[in-house]
Amino acid sequence: MLFENGYEINWSEAIFKVIIVLRQPFVNRKHNDIPIYNFVGGNILSFSEAHKICSERILEIPTTKSIWYPWMRTFQSIFLYRLLAIFVHVIPAVLLDTVLRIMGKPPM
Q: What is the pLDDT of residues 48-77, one digit of tens each?
A: 777 788 788 877 777 777 777 777 777 888
Shared domain for 61 and 105, answered yes or no, is: no
Whether 55 and 24 map to the same domain: the answer is yes
Give the tens place of pLDDT for each residue, 5-48: 555 666 667 777 777 776 666 666 666 666 666 666 666 777 77
Q: Tell me whether residue 70 is in a domain.
A: no
46 and 96 both lie in a single domain: no
Assess whether 47 and 14 both reside in one domain: yes
Question: Are residues 28 and 81 located together in one domain of the fold?
Answer: no
Q: How many domains does the chain have?
A: 2
Predicted TM-score (pTM) of the model is 0.45
HEC assignment per residue over the chain: CCCCCECCCCHHHHHHHHHHHHHHHHHCCCCCCCCCCCCCCCCCCEHHHHHHHHHHHHHHCCCCCCCCCCCCCCCCCHHHHHHHHHHHHHHHHHHHHHHHHHCCCCCC
Indicate if 58 and 32 belong to the same structural domain. Answer: yes
